[in-house]
A and B are shown apart, each in its own frame.
Chain A
Amino acid sequence: MFEVLRMDWYRLRRQSYLLTGLLLGLGMIALAYAFATLLSDPETVNAMQAQGADITAEDIADGAALAGYTLQKYMHQMLFAGGFWISLMAVFTGVYCAEDYAGGAVKNIFPVLGCRWPYVVGRSLCLLLYNGVLMAAYLLVPLALSPVLVFSAVGGSWLDWLQMYLAACLVGWAISMCGFFLSTLVRREGWMVPVALLVGMGLPAVSLGAVCGLLHLPDLSRFTIFGCSQMITPDFRPVQYLHIAVVCLAWVVVYGLLTNLSLKRRDQA
């Protein structure tokens, strides 16, 4: 099991999944920040509009609101309000896992292990580690740069930051396990990208919510991984946090079992 973790971690580094994930995530955060900062300055907005830029009143309002944000609130909005980070995780980890099958490399893994569980558990631990490292970077780099950023304050206690980080790791782990399971079915990197994107952007969760609405049932989408990602809060709310932790861990176990079942039912080569 730990051999699989070591192997996977080495591959994540050598194939630049780690670096690309870091650069892409931090780059998106930096780009969004730069754009919002530009819009927060009325003179810059006027100059941009004079040069023909199409800037809506909503953009200007967002820019103006930036000055009142704390760093923590901004990071929460940036990472968890939309589907950006969870989609990124789904695609990266889905493609990473699918590579085992697309190139046939799994043929060199299973004969060594002799059974499926070390592969499933080792890989799942690596996905947790990957999520943990990326999310730490996404939160720590802006924290380190906070003195030069425009926010009024850092905001939140260390506990608030920690719970946000841990909740994000759990949600990211669960969506990565979903990608792992799907990769054993799809087995092609090219197909894995759109499939992971659809899952990461919350299509199953939104569909479930709509169906529940139509049937006048309680909204079950909060029991989905995407639903949990939308429930992450900047401040620590124990009940909500517990809900996220239980649901995500349950999905990790379910996808682990499903992955094992999928590997059992199909030949590996």
Chain B
Amino acid sequence: MQTAVRTLGLCKQYRGKAAVDHLDMQVSQGEIYGFIGANGAGKSTTFKLLAGLARPTAGQIELFGRPMETGTAARRVGILIEDAGLYGSMSARDNCLLKARLLGLDEETRAVDRVLAQVGLDKMGKKKAKHFSMGQRRRLGLALALVGSPDLLLLDEPTNGLDPEGIRDVRLLLQQLQSERGVTILVSSHILGELEKLATCYGIIREGRMVEQITAADLAARCRDYIAIKTSDPHRAAALLEERLHLHEYTVYPEGELRLYDAADPARVNAALLEGGVAVQSIGIHRQELEDYFLQRMGAEDHV
């Protein structure tokens, strides 16, 4: 599979502070790449660098196998980064027509009508973009990214401000673009449950550095069952289980939850805790999800 996006040692500093720090990233063509990181981790800056909106301090970017500086891939990229970048006094259609003219599209009105229908804004008429709701602005931003049928989409929080129906519509649209046209999609979202339904691989970024790149299949293999224990003193419970049952793989969460990743019998765990004088409010087996995995990779100790 050919590479759509590749970065090597990509760095971006703002006033001497690294926003992106030697980021190595590789996205194959036709993938939906979930880009995950906490606020300020460097996701939006990475998107801006990939879109050519910010200059890298160091490092290289290749789009479709060619250095980005050549500009050869520019017209193959559609972006939605942070706010949608609209002209508020123009309608949705006019905003899209501007982009179509910039791209020099043939049959520009037909192309624009199609993308507006795809994002559900085809009935907006002459309503000015400044009067749109947050969700409508987001949809229009997505429509702008889709004008010109790009081969690569860079979508930073595309579902931000959308209602549940809108979130589902966007997910289905992106899946359709990937399956029918082989569009490569880099998408970031804090709604990890939603991202899990969409992404074919993930990149986890922390403090500007790539922590891990993992395919959805590998992630599924790594996501294990765990025992979740609710107790008033999870730290004491953890120490007790280490001592009595030799269970060492666990994470303590701030809401009084203890998660055991070692295979163990919940009944034995419960008995050991009761014997040790730790009151258990609830105990049960759960399946680890992307959110859990992400938090684990980010270092759950940060959350304690």
Contacts and interface: CB of A to CB of B under 8 A. Distances in A.
Contact of B98 (A7, A111, A269): A7
A113 B72 CA distance: 10
Interface stretch (B82-90, B116-124, B196-204): B82-90
B147 to A, nearest CB: 9
A237 interface: no
A267 B53 contact: yes
Given A14-B90, A114-B71, A3 B103 contact: yes
Interface in A107-163: 107-115
A191 interface: no
Contact of A107 (B74, B79, B98, B102): B79
B102 A109 contact: yes
A194 interface: no
Interface residues of B, number: 33
Contacts of A115: 71
Contact of A108 (B79, B90, B97): B79
B48 interface: yes
Contacts of B55: 267
Contacts of B84: 104
Contacts of B86: 103-105
A15 interface: yes
A114 to B, nearest CB: 3
Contacts of A99: 87
Interface string B69-109: 00111110101011111111110001001110111100000
Interface in A197-256: none
B258 interface: no
Interface residues of A, number: 25
Contacts of B74: 111-114
A3 B82 CA distance: 25
Nearest to B141: A108
Contacts of A3: 101-104
A35 interface: no
Given A103-B85, A107-B85, A110-B53, A267 B48 contact: yes
B51 interface: yes
> Taking each of A15, A109, A111, A114, which has the highest tally of chain B beta carbons within 10 Å of its own beta carbon?
A111
Interface string A14-50: 1100000000000000000000000000000000000
B54 interface: yes
Nearest to B84: A104
B93 to A, nearest CB: 10
Contacts of A111: 51-53, 74, 77, 79
B90 A15 contact: yes
Nearest to B45: A267
B32 interface: no
Interface string B33-57: 0000000000000001001111100
Most buried by B among A3, A105, A113: A105
Interface string A163-175: 0000000000000
The 8 A-B pairs of least Cβ separation, nearest first, read A114-B71, A114-B74, A104-B85, A267-B54, A107-B85, A269-B53, A7-B101, A111-B51
Interface of B: 48, 51-55, 71-75, 77, 79, 81-90, 94, 97-99, 101-104, 144, 148
10 contacts: A6-B102, A10-B94, A10-B101, A99-B87, A103-B88, A104-B84, A107-B79, A108-B144, A114-B75, A269-B85
